[in-house]
Amino acid sequence: MLHEEPSRSPGKASAAVHRRDLRRAKAHLADRLHDPGLTLLAVSQDLGFSLRYLHELFREADTTPRAWLYALRLDRARAMLSGAGYDAQSISSIALRVGFKDASHFSRAFKSRFGTNPATYRRTQRTSKGDRVR
């Protein structure tokens, strides 16, 4: 059974229900972040929402499900690039782990979001951590 579409009139679907559903949607997307084949239709079906309702939840949060997932993937990749536990992993491997299909696309997206490419970011993080230890 699909979740009812949100109503434009007050009282039909409460703000508390929307907040709960948005939290569920974000948690589900975060759990599946590594899957480059993830579709919003599959997410909405997994959650028992219509695709329209899924989009409405994120619209109320001033974003889209795709933009939110994309930002989360880039944030996770940045954390991995600066984390000591991922030093041995290649940038391509990290890109794949956070759901990017293509390393060059990941590098362009990373540079667009953070102003530097992943390799430079990693090198800078390693240098700054080394400086703090001395």
In contact, 53 and 18? CB cutoff 8 Å = no
The structure tokens listed for 74 are 């880039």
Scanning the chain, the segments in alpha helix (DSSP H) are 15-31, 40-47, 51-60, 65-82, 91-97, 103-114, 118-133
Along the chain (134 residues), what's the average pLDDT of each consecutive run of 10 residues?
49 80 98 95 97 96 96 97 91 96 96 97 85 42
Spatial neighbors of 121 by CB under 8 A, at least 6 apart, are 78, 81, 82, 110, 114
In tens, the pLDDT along 70-79 reads 999 999 999 9
The structure tokens listed for 115 are 């102003």
Q: CA-CA distance, 124 to 8, in Å (whole number)?
A: 49
Q: What is the pTM of this model?
A: 0.83
Positive/negative CA dihedral, 47, 53, 58, 61: negative
The per-residue pLDDT for 14 is: 84
Positive/negative CA dihedral, 98, 29, 40, 9: negative
In contact, 61 and 21? CB cutoff 8 Å = no
Q: How many residues does the chain have?
A: 134
